[in-house]
Every structure is written in structure tokens, then in C-alpha cells.
């Protein structure tokens, strides 16, 4: 049963903005939370690294911490479950910048709906991506994916990409109604890092949710290189998440793990040609192979270590 209050004329819908951050810049986080407050949101930084937790202690940034770094989906779930009084959940990356006037107008259109309905609004106005498939996931793990992706884009053209069964946008800025979040029971905890957004989008489409690909929102998403910097710790959890996603949507687990193993062996041959520290890259591949063989869940860099 929902614990959120029904919006009334006296109380507009409450939008909780959950913002995971491992080692973000305090000045940027202050600017982001100020912008979100100005458009009527209630932002909350979910701190997953001890160093940032200490830096935010004397700042005006609203924050909380699970004292762990269990992954993107688990961190969002922590914020949503510990902040019970909300009608809409905004999932926001910490490297987002906002045009407040445009975002306020776009949010108004979404908030006109009943939060107990099934609604998912992709607010980051990037080109929608194809839902991951067995081929695309394996090509990404093996590192032959970028070349295949360029060929597919050249052949496919742009077209209209708003079928939620086939396309999604990353959850760099997405808004979920309380009704849909509770019906789907949030993110799948097996997908620690990556694939959780595509999985949620597919389940939303299957639940006949109203999935909106919103344009002109005033959102800009800065590129970052966190995955490359921590590839020794990130690659194993990326592969683990890929296995969980493909088990859910593509094939039985033993076959998925075997194909991912082959993809990682292929990746080993490409290590010398990639602009990533070789020792970290090899440790990442080794950690992913061990996780596949032992079926023991790997972990992201811990809270205390960051």
C-alpha cells in the first residue's frame, strides 16, 4: 500500500529527487540541488563514498547516506524507501545541469497526471537507445560493440524512436510515478551497475505504463569517465549485471554465463589497443571471469575506500 499522501489543491505533488554520488564536486552538487529546489523538487544526495560524506557535512546540500556503495539501483531504492512521503520519484545523475525554466514547464506536463497511475518519463533529451539484446550486450563486453553500433546507426537512420518496448533512455534524469514504482517493486537488485534502467523500462512497457520520451526539458548530461577510471572494479559488476539482465530477457543462465565468458576472452585480445591502464583492465577482466565461474557477486568500490 502506498505511504504517499494524495495531492490536493492545498498540497501539490511531492517530487523526491534521488541523486546518487560517490565523489562528486560539492559546488556542482550545491548548484544542482538549488536548481531542483527552484523547480519544486525535494532533492536528496545519496552519498556512497566517505570522503564526499565528510565534505558535505558543512554544506547546504541535502544529503543522506546508506554508508555503502551497493550500486545505482540499490542506492535509489534506499532513498525511496527511507523518504516515504513522496508522489513522484525523480532519478537524477550528479553530473546533470538544469535550465530551470524549461524543466519547470516540462515537469508541469508530467505532474498533471495522477501519481497512482503507471507513468515513466524519460527527461534527459538524448536520442533513445535500442533495448539491449544478447548480441549488443555481448558485443559490449567483448569490446567489439562500438564498431557494430556505428554500422547499425549508419544503416538504421534516426526514425521515430518512442516505442518503449524497443527503446529507452538512460536514467540520468527520469521521473517515475509512485504507482508504477510500487507495482514494479523498484529496480532489480541483481543488476548492480548498468542494465537496471533498461530492465525497468522493459518492465514498465510490459505493465502498459504511459512511457514518455520528453523533449526540450532543459537537461544537459555531462560525459564522465568513472567506468574507465575504476575499470578493475566496475567491469566485474557490469558483466554480473549483464548476466542478470540476459537471464531475465534472453536465455537461460548457464548459456548466458558461457557466452559472457567467451566475450571476455575476446576482450583480453583487445586490451593492448584500448586507452585504459593495462593492469587495471586485466584485473577487471580477471575479476569478471572469476565472478562468472564462481557465481559469487562482485562489489563496487566500497564506501570507506572513497
Shared domain check, 257 and 111:
no
Q: Work out how many domains the chain is built from and give that number.
A: 2
Question: Of 200, 221, 242, at which residue does a domain stop?
Answer: 221
**pLDDT value of position 144:** 87
CA dihedral sign of residues 268, 270, 271, 276: negative
pLDDT in tens, 152-198: 554 555 567 899 999 999 999 999 999 999 999 999 999 999 999 99
Residue 53: name the closest of 27, 28, 26, 32 by CA. 26
Is there a single domain that holds both residue 91 and residue 45?
yes
Same domain, 174 and 121: yes
Is residue 305 a part of any domain in this protein?
Answer: no
For residue 142, give its domain range. Answer: 131-160+225-296
Calpha distance 233→299 (Å, rounded): 7
pLDDT at 59: 93
Say which residues have a Cβ less than 8 Å from residue 264's Cβ, sequence separation at least 6.
141, 142, 239, 285, 288, 289, 292
Mark whether 139 and 236 lie in a shared domain.
yes
Cell of 53: 560524506
Residues 47 and 110 occupy one common structural domain: yes
- Lay out the sheet containing 41-47: strands in order across: 63-64, 41-47, 15-21, 88-92, 173-177, 119-122, 210-213
Same domain, 49 and 186: yes
Do residue 75 and residue 153 come from a single domain?
A: no
CATH number at residue 84: 3.90.550.60
CB 44 within 8 A of CB 19: yes
Note down pLDDT in tens along the chain; length 306 residues: 445 555 554 567 999 999 999 888 999 999 999 999 999 999 999 999 999 999 999 999 999 999 999 999 999 999 999 988 899 999 999 999 999 999 999 999 999 999 999 999 999 999 999 999 999 999 999 998 755 555 555 455 556 789 999 999 999 999 999 999 999 999 999 999 999 999 999 999 999 999 999 999 999 987 655 567 789 999 999 999 999 999 999 999 999 999 999 999 999 999 998 888 999 999 999 999 999 999 999 999 889 887
pLDDT, position 6: 57
Note the pLDDT of residue 24. 87
Dihedral sign, Cα of residue 238, residue 118, residue 203, residue 165: negative
- How many residues does this entry show for the chain? 306
User: Does 194 share its domain with 288?
Assistant: no
Give the pLDDT confidence score for residue 11 in this predicted structure: 67
Q: pLDDT for 72-91, tens place per residue?
A: 999 999 999 998 889 999 99
Does 106 lie in the same domain as 44?
A: yes
In this structure, are residues 145 and 139 in contact, taking their beta carbons and an 8 Å threshold? yes
Q: Name the residue among 159, 135, 162 with its Cα closest to residue 149.
A: 135
C-alpha cell at 146: 562500438
Question: Are both 215 and 229 inside the same structural domain?
Answer: no
Instruction: Calculate the alpha carbon distances from 220 to 80, 168, 169, 217 in Å.
Output: 24, 17, 14, 9
Does residue 89 share a domain with residue 43? yes
- Indicate the residue among 221, 243, 265 that finishes a domain: 221
| Residue 1: predicted pLDDT | 41
Same domain, 150 and 32: no
Amino acid at each position: 500500500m502506498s505511504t504517499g499522501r494524495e495531492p490536493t489543491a492545498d498540497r501539490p505533488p511531492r517530487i523526491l529527487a534521488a541523486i546518487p554520488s560517490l565523489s562528486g564536486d560539492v559546488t556542482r552538487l550545491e548548484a544542482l540541488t538549488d536548481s531542483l529546489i527552484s523547480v519544486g523538487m525535494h532533492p536528496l544526495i545519496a552519498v556512497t563514498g566517505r570522503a564526499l560524506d565528510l565534505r558535505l557535512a558543512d554544506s547546504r546540500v541535502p544529503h543522506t547516506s546508506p554508508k555503502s556503495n551497493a550500486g545505482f539501483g540499490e542506492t535509489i531504492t534506499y532513498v525511496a524507501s527511507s523518504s516515504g512521503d513522496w508522489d513522484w520519484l525523480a532519478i537524477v545523475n550528479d553530473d546533470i545541469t538544469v535550465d530551470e525554466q524549461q524543466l519547470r514547464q516540462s515537469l508541469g506536463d508530467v505532474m498533471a497526471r495522477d501519481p497512482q497511475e503507471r507513468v515513466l518519463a524519460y527527461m534527459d533529451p538524448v536520442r533513445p537507445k535500442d533495448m539491449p539484446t544478447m548480441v549488443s550486450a555481448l558485443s559490449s563486453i567483448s569490446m567489439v560493440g562500438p564498431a557494430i553500433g556505428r554500422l547499425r546507426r549508419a544503416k538504421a537512420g534516426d526514425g521515430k524512436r518512442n516505442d518503449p518496448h524497443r527503446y529507452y533512455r538512460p536514467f540520468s534524469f527520469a521521473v517515475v510515478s509512485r504507482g508504477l514504482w510500487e507495482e514494479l517493486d523498484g529496480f532489480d537488485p541483481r543488476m548492480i551497475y548498468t542494465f537496471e534502467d533498461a530492465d525497468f523500462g522493459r518492465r514498465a512497457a510490459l505493465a502498459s505504463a504511459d512511457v514518455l520520451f520528453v523533449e526540450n526539458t532543459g537537461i544537459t548530461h555531462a560525459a564522465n569517465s568513472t567506468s574507465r577510471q575504476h575499470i578493475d572494479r566496475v567491469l566485474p559488476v557490469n558483466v554480473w549485471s549483464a548476466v542478470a539482465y540476459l537471464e531475465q530477457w534472453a536465455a537461460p543462465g548457464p548459456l548466458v554465463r558461457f557466452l559472457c565468458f567467451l566475450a571476455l576472452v575476446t576482450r583480453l585480445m583487445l586490451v593492448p589497443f584500448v586507452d585504459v591502464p593495462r593492469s587495471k583492465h586485466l584485473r577487471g577482466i580477471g575479476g569478471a571471469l572469476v565472478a562468472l565461474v564462481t557465481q559469487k557477486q562482485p562489489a563496487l568500490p566500497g564506501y570507506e575506500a572513497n
